[in-house]
Structure formats: structure tokens, C-alpha cells
Structure 1
């Protein structure tokens, strides 16, 4: 049996940022992760960092590689009617976003943990949470060598994602679930080819949504709206490139650069929130508590916002003897969560082709797009939400 102040389940960005923030505040923590280190360091996920996320990583001393390799973007394009309509993020808000892969942030945080000697256990299994409604919760698990272990804590942070064990450890009667499933999915590819445009392109097309993004000057990330029941085998590379070329085409002859496809997958789209995000001494953060459709680029940023609040709350509870911030953790986070849920729903609804929408609905989408592209007020609202609202002002 091992004692620590905080047991953190999950070594994604949420769990690792929380662990490091707690370290900076003098609060001991142990991170448990089911997958191997190499798996989570190579797993390609989100890539858009809001400005508050960038500033936080910089402030805590883990932003050096991001500063060197990240790609600041000062605008994005809404592509519809066969043309680009640029949203000037920096001109409208004074802020920008940075394209820097989630896996790179994870690498930076693991390296920082190694440098400081902070404990992360990879490859654990059979994780179970106990006594979460008391002041000495426990986490039992099997370590990577097959030994049964137990971690006795004063608080547990559930940062283990939508399919993790943390949320199901809360009695169903204690949670209210809000959920929406969308009638489409995203087929995503990672291609070894330079980006075809200097900024992200969000495309509304009669054949369906498409997104042009990037992960580096040599790697492009691209997405297609597809049917959620489509098997990935129905989308060979030639078909993917053909569909992308059609949807991203413009009247001025834009041509997408093609290259070897390194990764391909299909992900369904949903919105999901549980309230509250805490039960006793168990606190949920990130995808364990909420999911947003990826159109708004909010998932990782929301998780980091959660744990910024959680680190302060746990420091107040465990070091200062002040339970108020911990008691208010869920309400504090949910204000930002619902703002991000709305923005992600708005972007998704405006840009995708819903098979159930009639001609009237499609005209309404185009009207919204044209208004957003032509109205400074509408463009500013989109830009403010996209670059990230201040942590304290969401």
C-alpha cells in the first residue's frame, strides 16, 4: 500500500497537467496510466491549442518545444460557395491559436515529470476506485509487473477519458447525463505532405463537411464527413483524396496536395456532459466528464481548463484546509463546459450536411455562414470562442 495526497487516473494532458500543477503547489500526486508510455506519446489526437492553454503551458515551464515547433495561426478560413472567407482571429481578438499536437504536449509533460522525479506508472490494469465518498479514498490496480497494488489517497482525479473507470465509480443516481448524437462521423487521415494552405480551412459543401488542418510543415491532418456506419475499409486512399479534392475545390483552382496516408480512422460525433463533475473526494476532468464534437477544437483545451481549476481547489483543500474551492469545482468548470458545448454544436450545425435537413434548412446554413463571414460582430463572436475565453471569464 502506498500513500499519496492525490491519485490521478489517466496520463493524458489532463492528468499530466494536473500532476505537474500540484507539484508546483507542493501537493504530492501519483499518476496511473493503463497504456504504455510509447502508446500515449505517439497517439495522434487534438492539435489546436487555445491561447489560454498555450499561456498556461508556458507559465509552468513546459512550453519550450511548443514555442520552437508550434505553429501560431492568426486566422482560419470558412470555405463555402466555392471561396474562402477568412476570419481574422488576431485582428478581431488580439489573440491566436497554436497548432501543436496533443502527443507533443504529452511528451513534454512526461519529460518534465522525469526531470523532477514525479511518479507515473504506465501499463497498469484492473484499476478500481474505492471509498470515494470518504476522506481516504483508495485506488487498487495491478502494476506493469503483475503485482497487486493499492494507492491510498486524500482525493482522486478521474482523468481517464470517456471509457475509463472513474465516472462509472460514481453511483448512477448521483449523476445527470446530457447527451446528443449526430447523424454523421469524421473520417480522419494523417498524410505525409506539406499543408496546402497556411491556415485551417473549415468547408461547408453539399457533399459534406471537410477540414484541412496540419500537425507540422511536413504533415497534414484532413477530415471528411462520412456516415457513422461506414467501415473504414470502404474508404481506400484514392476515394478519400478524390472526395477531399471535390469538397475543398474553389473557383480559383485550389488544389489539395496529396501524399502517403500514414493513419486513417472514423470517429462518431457526440455531445456529452455529466453533472456534477464530482462525488465525495472523486473529481472528474476532461473526457471523463464531457465530450464535444471536434468541430470547435475544444476537447483538450477544456480538459486543461478543468485541471487548472482542480489543482487550485485541491491545494486549498489539502494544504490550506479550505474546502470551498473543491466544493465549487463542478459549478466552476461547468460554466466553461456548457459555453464550449454550445460553440461546438454551433460550428457543427453550421458546417455539416445533415441527411435529414431539407432545402429550407440548407438555405439557413448558408445564410448563417454568409452572415458570419460578412458581419464583424458575428465573426468576432466566433473568433473569441475559437481562440479560447479567459480561464476566469468563460
Structure 2
């Protein structure tokens, strides 16, 4: 069998497309040994990757802001066609086109049975929860590749009902693997409902997905905050209000100018630990967004926090930040009776319903995040431009199947 091209982290600011062996129906040896799984994955499939996206979470690794080792393979946003399946795969067939939740889940542990698939107990020797191509997640190969192995396929994969219909909407459907459910999770867990006023911190792809999700959930006003004017313009393109946090006015003052009140009903943190402070020339301040959303959310409101926070950040601004210890005003959140939801989005809680919203033209997530297709060989360019603040969601096309769609 031919080799497998795959995107690999080469050191801070550097990625390359390397060639490795074609994947096998095997689980990583570390997972097998620690969790008592058979190495052979008869429950798995090999996918030909149809589309795979560059994520802001990948960018944290590529910037050198995690403990990812050189050689880490990348890519957890995957859509693909089954080209091989194990003997224990009962309900999927070769040729099926499927979305892959970025959470790797066994479907058999207590957490999976409770639909907490972001914290599966059997797929990572180090902690609950796993993902493809990510640091400290069990050693599963990344999906920014020609081919990828997906374990526990009957449980994990979301099969599209009609392949031709799916390919016609593939730029939207490719977002089901992560950012659309993640953005929706942020808005939903913040309590967004009919008539809500919502603040979304961050106008990157997840923030834009959260903003579009808030609209789907019935929000009256969605306000998106960022320092990047190009990304704020993208938010305005589908009906959001915006605030630029590099201005001297406080966030509360800017929200007051839009709503006539300095508070919103609920808020979403779609930034995470590499947050910047307010005002012109402000530097990194990793607790800023968490404190902001407590400040501007009304008493009794909820906060959705899909933005990534880590336990190891070599580039943190101080020793506390380097271990994920941040100066968060928890007393403020307590005094205002706020509810917080953090952690990996459990993709399977939402992906089927969001698929239906795409297939029936209720959601237009590709337009909201400005989906932009690149060949796999251009992945380094995509990482560079994304890091420089491009208002685009880069979709990699390993086999040239999206070029004419």
C-alpha cells in the first residue's frame, strides 16, 4: 500500500507535509497497554480523508504554546470515505461518507454511555478524553492526511444519508467534526434562547461558529468582540454586532452603546488561554476573557467556555500561567450566581441535529466562518496565514475532491 501524506509539527512556527506508512487497524500501543485493549482494532475503519480543517487548537501547538513534541502529527477535524473496515464493524460499509467527531470515544465506558464523549475513559492513558493528532491525547495519528484510522467506528462515525447531497454541502458539513458543535455547545451551554442578548469573545472560527449558533438558537442580538478588524467584519457579514477590544472604551461601555445596558444575558469565551488585554498595545493577559464575561453577564446568567485552556504552556506570561493557574475573579462569578460550562465539546451530543440543519438549509456555517479550501500541500501556508489573523477557516483537500464543489 502507498504511503500517507500527513501534516507534522516541526517546532515553533513550523509545519511540514511528511509521508508516513499507510494506517493500520491498530490502536496506539500506549493506549492498548494502559487500558487493556487489544492492539488490533477490528472495531475500526480506514478513511480516505475528503476534507480536514486547520483549527485554532492546532495553532496553539504550532506556536509552541503547549508541550507538543516535534514530530507531533496534526489534525482532528476530519470528514472521509470508508475504504477499509474491521471485521467487527457492523453498521457501516466501504464507500460511506462520514463525519468524524474530534473526540475519540469507546462507546462502552460510563462517560460515553452518559453522552460525555469528550471525556471517554478508555482512549487515553494520561487523562479522560482524547482527540486525533493532539498533544497528551493518547498518541492517535492526526487527520490532516490522505488517510486516517478511526476506532470504534460504529459508535463514533456520523454517516451522511446521501453522498451526492453531502458533497454538494461539504464546505458546511466539514465543520461538523469540531467547530460547529463546539460553537453551538458554547452558545447552548450559555443558555442562549429566543430573545437572548449574547456576547461572544473572539472572532476566530469557533467564535464565529458560536455567534451563528446563537442566531440559530434565537438570540435577539449577538455581539462579537475581537482586536482583529478583518475578523470583526466577517462577524458583521452575517448580522452580528461587534466591539473592538483594542479601543479605549471598556467592554461594558461598548456593549451599553449597542444595547442601552452594559450587560448581556449570557456570554461565550471562544478565545482561551492566549487572550490579549484591552486597549491599544495591550499584551497577553490569559484571564482577561474569563473576567470579562463575568463582568458583562447579568446576575444569574450562564457562561459557555469552549475556548481552550491547558495545564502546560511553556510560553505563559508567568510561572502560574505556564501551568494553567490564572487570576480569575471567581468571587465575582459567585456573587452574580453565574454557571460555567468548560471542557471539550461532546460532539455527538449535537452533530446529527446540526447536520440536519445544514442539509435542510437552516444553517450556513461555511459562509459564517469564510471556509477557504487549500490542497494538503499548502497546509504550511494555511497555518501561516491563519496565525497572522486571516478571517478564514482553512479546509484542506487531500485528494482534490472539493475543487469543483
Q: TM-score, normalised by structure 1?
A: 0.24
Greater helix share, 1 or 2?
1
- Which of the pair is proportionally richer in strand? 1
Tell me which structure has the larger Cα radius of gyration.
Answer: 1
Larger RCO (CA under 8 A, 6+ residues apart):
1
